[in-house]
Amino acid sequence: MRAPALALAALLVLATAGCGDDASEPAGAPAAAPSSAPSSASSSAPSGGSSSEGGAATADASVPVLRASVGTPDDPEAYVISLVDADGQEVTELPAGDYVVEVDDPATSHNVHLEGPGVDESTTVPETTTTQWRVSLQPGDYVYRCDPHPSMVGELTVTDV
């Protein structure tokens, strides 16, 4: 008799903790909820559970990820710039839409600069940075480059969908 009440109380605690503290406990809450929650509990509170967890998870899952980086794993100052998809394949053509660009600039002599229709994002040359850009790519030609080094450049064509 007490089990359902305890389960609901636990869910409320998890939901409350998740909303106020989602940055510090993203792994704990989603892992605990499905194993401890019977199907009746999930149907009684679908909006609370899905919205508190879904915000970050669905945003990442539904928007394709690109990775822009300079240097190589062995030498962050190597004169290399790359733009790859989630599978590590070089990207030269993409359909228009929203993307998350995960940017890795471990170099003090290079930067990453993505420029094209509606987009002008860059890291700074001296600072080493790991960041994310949420971009809305439109049909047209984009260029990603390292500003001080003209040889470090790549082109991306975005096509109509």
**Alpha carbon distance 143, 12 (integer Å):** 48
The CA-CA-CA angle for residues 112, 68, 159, to 5°, reads: 105
Which 137-156 positions form the footprint of Cu ion (CB under 5 A)?
146, 149, 152
Least Å distance, CB 103 to Cu ion, is 14
Least Å distance, CB 65 to Cu ion, is 23
Among 15, 110, 135, 144, binds Cu ion (CB under 5 A): 110
**Which of 49/110 has CB closer to Cu ion?**
110
Least Å distance, CB 104 to Cu ion, is 14
Least Å distance, CB 78 to Cu ion, is 9
Stretch that binds Cu ion, among 26-34, 40-48, 86-94, 104-112 (CB under 5 A): 104-112
Stretch that binds Cu ion, among 6-14, 37-45, 86-94, 108-116 (CB under 5 A): 108-116
**Which of 33/81 has CB closer to Cu ion?**
81
How many residues does this entry show for the chain? 161
By the criterion CB under 5 A, which residues form the site for Cu ion?
Answer: 110, 146, 149, 152
